[in-house]
Amino acid sequence: MPSIADWLAENHAELITKTARREHRGVRTIEVEDIEQHVWKVLLGRASERTDYRTWERNGMANLFTKIAREYVARERIEYMHFAGAFIYTPGIVEVYLKDAVWANVEDVPDIDGRVDVRDALKLLPLATQQALFIHFGMDQPYTAGTAPYKRVMRAVDTISDRLNMSSGVQIADLADAA
What does the pLDDT average to over 50-66? 85
pLDDT higher than threshold 50 for residue 123: yes
- Across the chain, mean pLDDT equals 82
Q: For 136-179, write each residue's pLDDT tens digit.
A: 988 888 899 889 999 999 999 989 988 887 765 545 444 444 44
DSSP per-residue string spanning the chain: ---HHHHHHHHHHHHHHHHHHHHHTT-SSS-HHHHHHHHHHHHHHHHHTT--GGGS-HHHHHHHHHHHHHHHHHHHHHHHHHHH------HHHHHHHHHHTSSS--S--S-HHHHHHHHHHHTTS-HHHHHHHIIIIIS--PPPTTSHHHHHHHHHHHHHHHHHHHHTT--HHHHHHH-
What does the pLDDT average to over 115-133? 89
Q: For 6-41, write each residue's pLDDT tens digit.
A: 888 898 999 999 999 988 876 777 899 999 999 999
